[in-house]
C-alpha cells in the first residue's frame, strides 16, 4: 500500500472554539475533509483509511468535532430523556439544545478558513453527513463535492433505529476504562452487523486511544441534542449544487437504508451507492470499494469544474 505523509495533530481557533485536526498526504493536493459522526473522535477515520485516500491524490484532513476528543468542550444541556424523544416523535415538540448542526457546520467552515482552504471535498459519516449536507446547503461555494455516508435528511417520516441500537446509545456512560472498552467493543460489533474479524481485532487498541485522548459524555449528549433540535434538511436539500454521492449500507441498524435512499432522492442528480452487508460502520473489507467511490467522485467533480 502506498502511504502518504501524516502530519501530527494541531489545534486551531475556528468559530470561537479550538478544533483539533490532522492531515495526510500532499499539502498541495485538493483538500478533502472527513467529518465524523455522533460521539466519535476523528481517529475513527482509521489511519490506514486516511492514508489510502490520500494516496489517491488528496490532502486528507480529519478533525474532532466540538465537544469530542481534543477539540473545545462546551457547557449546558441535560441528559436526553426518553420522554423528550417521545414528544419529538409523536408530537413534533422540538428538543432544546445548546447548539445545532448549523453551528457545527460553522466549525468546519472556520477550520477551512484557518487552513486557508477556499473550497474542499466533503465526506461526512452519519452525523458528519448531516453537517456536510448543511454546509452544502448554506455555503455552496465552499464545497467541491459532497459524499454523505450512512446519513439522513432528518425526515421525521423515516423509520427509527432498531431498538437494540437505540438502547445502546441511550445507556448511561461507562464509569471505568475497562467498562468503556467493553462498551466500545459491544457498540461497534452491533453497529457493524455481523462478524468482521479484522475490525474486531483492532477494537481494544482503538478504544484505548480514544480513552487516552479524553472522553466527554456530556458532549456526546449535546451533539445528540444538536441532531434532534436541527430538524429536517429535506425541504432545503434541493438547494445543493455540489456533485453528490450517497453511500449507505443495506443492513444499517441505526440509520436505516431508507434514509440513504431518501438523501439521494432529495439532492439533485445525486448518485446512490448501496453497500451490500454494510451496517452503520465502514469495516475494513469495504475500504477498497468506498475509497474508490469517494476518490472517483471527487476527481470527477474536479474535472467537471476545470
Contact 10, 20 (CB under 8 A): yes
Question: What is the structure's pLDDT at 85?
Answer: 66
Within 10 A of 274 (CB to CB), how many other CB atoms are there? Answer: 15
If residue 244 lies in a helix (H) or strand (E), which one and from where to where?
Answer: strand 244-249
Higher pLDDT, 303 or 69: 69
C-alpha cell read off for 283: 469495516
| pLDDT-wise least confident of 87-96, 111-120, 175-184, 257-266 | 87-96
Homologous superfamily, domain 6-305: Alpha/Beta hydrolase fold, catalytic domain (3.40.50.1820)
What are the phi and psi torsion angles at 135 (to 5°)?
-65, -45
Q: Are strands 17-24 and 6-14 parallel, antiparallel or unpaired?
A: antiparallel
Confidence of residue 84 (pLDDT cuts 50, 70, 90): low
CA dist 152 and 161 (Å) reads: 12
All structural domains of the chain with their residue ranges: 6-305
Q: How many residues does the chain have?
A: 306
**Residue 194 Cα distances to 36, 138, 189, 278, angstroms:** 22, 38, 7, 9
Q: Are strands 244-249 and 271-275 parallel, antiparallel or unpaired?
A: parallel
CA dist 264 and 271 (Å) reads: 6
Amino acid at each position: 500500500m502506498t502511504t502518504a505523509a501524516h502530519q501530527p495533530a494541531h489545534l486551531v481557533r475556528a468559530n470561537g472554539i479550538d478544533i483539533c485536526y490532522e492531515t495526510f498526504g500532499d499539502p498541495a493536493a485538493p483538500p478533502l475533509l472527513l467529518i465524523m459522526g455522533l460521539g466519535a473522535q476523528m481517529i475513527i477515520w482509521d489511519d490506514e483509511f486516511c492514508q489510502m485516500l490520500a494516496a489517491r491524490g488528496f490532502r486528507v484532513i480529519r478533525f474532532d468535532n466540538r465537544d469530542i476528543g481534543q477539540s473545545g468542550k462546551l457547557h449546558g444541556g441535560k441528559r436526553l430523556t426518553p420522554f423528550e424523544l417521545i414528544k419529538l416523535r409523536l408530537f413534533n415538540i422540538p428538543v432544546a439544545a445548546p447548539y445545532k448542526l448549523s453551528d457545527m457546520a460553522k466549525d468546519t467552515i472556520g477550520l477551512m478558513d484557518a487552513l486557508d482552504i477556499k473550497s474542499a471535498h466533503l465526506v461526512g459519516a452519519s452525523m458528519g453527513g448531516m453537517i456536510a449536507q448543511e454546509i452544502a446547503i448554506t455555503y455552496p461555494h465552499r464545497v467541491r463535492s459532497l459524499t454523505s455516508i450512512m446519513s439522513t435528511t432528518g425526515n421525521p417520516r423515516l423509520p427509527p433505529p432498531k431498538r437494540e441500537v437505540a438502547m445502546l446509545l441511550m445507556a448511561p456512560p461507562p464509569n471505568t476504562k475497562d467498562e468503556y472498552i467493553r462498551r466500545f467493543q459491544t457498540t461497534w460489533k452491533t453497529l457493524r452487523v455481523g462478524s468482521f474479524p479484522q475490525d474486531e481485532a483492532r477494537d481494544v487498541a482503538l478504544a484505548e486511544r480514544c480513552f487516552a485522548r479524553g472522553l466527554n459524555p456530556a458532549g456526546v449528549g449535546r451533539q445528540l441534542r444538536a441532531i434532534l433540535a436541527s430538524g429536517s434538511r429535506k425541504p432545503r436539500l434541493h438547494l445543493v449544487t455540489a456533485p453528490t454521492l450517497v453511500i449507505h449500507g443495506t443492513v444499517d441498524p441505526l440509520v436505516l437504508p431508507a434514509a440513504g435512499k431518501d438523501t439521494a432522492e432529495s439532492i439533485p442528480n445525486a448518485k446512490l451507492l448501496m453497500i451490500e452487508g454494510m451496517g452503520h460502520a465502514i469495516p475494513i473489507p469495504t475500504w477498497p470499494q468506498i475509497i474508490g467511490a469517494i476518490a472517483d467522485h471527487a476527481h470527477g467533480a474536479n474535472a467537471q469544474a476545470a
